[in-house]
Chains A and B, each alone.
Chain A
Amino acid sequence: MVFRLPPGARPAWPLQMADGEPGSGNRRTVLKQGLLAASGAMLMPGLARAASAEAAPPGDPPWSQSIGPGVVARTYGQPSDFEKDVIRRNVPWLTATPESSVSFTPLQDQPGIITANGLFFERYHAGRPTVDPAGHRLMLHGLVDRPLLLTVDDIKRFPSVSRIHFIECPANGGMEWRAAQLNSLQFTHGMVGCAEWTGVKLSTVLAEAGLKTNAKWVLVEGADGAHMDRSLPLEKCLDDCIVAYGQNGEALRPEQGYPLRLIVPGWQGNVNIKWLRRIEVGDQPWFTREETAKYTELMADGKARGFTWLIFAKSVITFPCPEKPLKGAGLYEIRGFAWSGNGRVQRVDVSFDGGVNWTRAQLEGPVLPKALTRFTLEWRWDGKPVLLQSRAVDETGFVQPTIAELRAARGVNGVYNNNAIQTWQVKADGSVFNVQLA
């Protein structure tokens, strides 16, 4: 296909051409100069501002007076360069090494319920392994009639399902038990993401192996260096778990367990074993390190809770938030996410006065079970300070608790399963801070 400029027209902005494309020497010089100018503008904020001023009407911006790169200039798409701040981030002081650590989803920039694959939070116990799918196997054995060794292709041949579910690390908000600590939505709530997962139901694979009558528990284990493993009750495995290979329209990302991971809908992130390689059926739990020494909750009386898999109802306002302050009085749409491991979100209420009075927010569909659910509320801000909160109620009638209630029930040493109502303090200048109330 040949693009022609109108007769007499001269490009004010470089024609960006694929390497090797024929062009006159003169034009090439023009192109080079133009590209230099373009990259200069991107590096220098002053020039970028000038460019955006020129871009406003009645001017015509450079990108409207040129043609852009052609197809397959990027064979795998990337976000706009202008979104370069929207990235997973970590809290370097939190862990000994980045290989056994966590990064956080930038929820403040997530518009809908689906978390972009490149922004989905990471949690590794021994780094992100590079697994060759040709060499990967899923072994199923234990209390079954027919032990199985399956390739990734074998798994893909089984009948498939697609489901949209959140995954949340139970340590999300774990730094906030004693007091408000981190002034950021990303760092207080970003250990959650939501995606469409495609795979075979675990119940189908278990049925293919044939369960012995005394089967009660299932050990699931990863191929990473941690050989991350958890015991799951058979009932949950036969209910809605998925051995997934698809994530939002493509293969699972390596960060999410490529080529196979378990999806355990509504249950804490670490049981959704990534790089899944082994399933052992037994008659009792294994009491692995991850379900005894870790991912248990120490209560104030010195006793600990184990097997607290379920994610209870939770919500948070994503606009405004510390990263996204208000810009003067006026009309705004409050936005946020709610989710519950116990089914659908039934309603979300918003308070402007720290929980004295509440207003029903609107749920923005789809409202799916065990999935992030959007809520919105139109709000005219008068410019006075407010204490902003959201409170989720799920279809079981469970109401999201305050941090004071959680502390009264569990003390402050538990680390996990903090589903407290978040309070954002909005100051008169529009800035937003993470606070905790009495």
Chain B
Amino acid sequence: MSNSPRRARIAASVLCATALLVVAAQSSAAEKGAGYYGYGTAPTGQEIAGWAIAVRPDGQGLPPGRGSVDEGANVYAEQCAACHGTFGEGTARYPKLAGGGNLTGDRPEPTVGNYWPYATTLWDYINRAMPFPAPRTLTPNQVYAITAYVLNLNDIVPNDFVADRNTLPKVQMPNRDGFNWTDPRPDTKNAACMSKCQDPASVKIMSTAEGKDLTPRTTGPLDAMRPK
């Protein structure tokens, strides 16, 4: 008799395994083999190279070319400073690129210096999306140079640093180990209690949006409320 729970468990796991097999069979039946439909064409190497712009932290995707901090200062002044400020301090509400304060402080501003984990990502982003009004207009050398300059603004690389496909992946960013890449949620454990879930005396309004004057109107024409 002491064996029967074990038998039940074995039976259950056989059932589970069978179910998994069935599911696997169904999904493989749903998807055909490579080339089954035969739609589209094979892109040429040149076509792939033109669009494959993503760069990984190990440097995969970085093109040939190079740029120094000094060269970067010039390109940055022309292409970037109007929005990001000469020293990466940011203008108006455009992103600050340097400084930003301690990440445990009050209202820290994440920047390349205090937050970005990989220098390669900076190259990738400038190359894919900047300058904001004219993305994909910079040469690889210009992107390397701006990257070097912004890293130098943050005191991450010395004044004589030259960015290229070999040096950038080796740059140690200050916040390299500041991320947890595994989602720890659920991190709250509310219970679906139905009655007397808390002391009524503890129910207090701690903040209200009433009278804060932050809310654009929600009737009539769009509100052109000034940036605060």
Binding site for B on A (CB under 8 A): 85, 87, 89-93, 95-97, 99-100, 106, 108, 125-126, 139, 141, 144-151, 154, 157-158, 179-184, 186-187, 203-204, 207-210, 219, 221, 225-227, 229, 277-278, 280, 282, 284-289, 292-293, 296, 298, 300-310, 312, 322-323, 347, 349, 353-358, 360, 387, 391, 393, 398-402, 405-406, 409-410, 413, 417, 425, 433-438
Contacts and interface: CB of A to CB of B under 8 A. Distances in A.
B138 interface: no
A287 B207 contact: no
B182 interface: yes
B178 A158 contact: no
A204 B178 CA distance: 37
Interface stretch (B38-46, B68-76, B145-153): B38-46
B54 A280 contact: yes
A316 to B, nearest CB: 14
A403 to B, nearest CB: 9
Contacts of B223: 89, 92
A270 to B, nearest CB: 14
Interface in B98-130: 102-104, 107-108, 110, 112, 115-118, 120-122, 124-125, 128-129
**Interface pairs A-B: 10 shortest CB-CB:** A210-B34, A179-B207, A401-B188, A207-B31, A96-B93, A183-B209, A289-B125, A354-B203, A302-B103, A302-B104
A399 B222 contact: no
B190 A147 contact: no
Contacts of A280: 52, 54
B203 A147 contact: no
B212 A148 contact: no
A305 B184 contact: yes
A208 B36 contact: yes
B187 A409 contact: yes
Chain B binding surface SS class: loop
Contact of A356 (B92, B184, B196, B227): B196
A372 B126 CA distance: 37
B225 A93 contact: yes
A7 B135 CA distance: 69
A433 B51 CA distance: 49
Interface stretch (B1-9, B11-19, B160-168, B213-221): B213-221
Nearest to B195: A357
14 contacts: A90-B216, A126-B129, A149-B40, A149-B41, A179-B206, A287-B118, A288-B54, A304-B179, A306-B180, A353-B203, A354-B203, A358-B195, A398-B186, A436-B205
Contact of B178 (A87, A278, A302, A433): A302
B47 interface: yes
Contacts of A413: 107-108
Chain B interface size, as a band, is 35 or more
A152 B189 CA distance: 45
A298 B110 contact: yes
Nearest to B125: A289
Interface of B: 27, 30-37, 39-43, 47-48, 51-57, 83, 92-94, 102-104, 107-108, 110, 112, 115-118, 120-122, 124-125, 128-129, 132, 135-136, 175, 178-200, 202-210, 212, 214-216, 218-220, 222-228
A284 B218 contact: no
Nearest to A296: B179
B203 A437 contact: yes
A81 B116 CA distance: 48
Contacts of B184: 305
A218 B118 CA distance: 19
A154 B194 contact: no
Nearest to B61: A286
Given A90-B216, A305-B184, A399 B191 contact: yes
A282 B58 CA distance: 13
B214 to A, nearest CB: 6
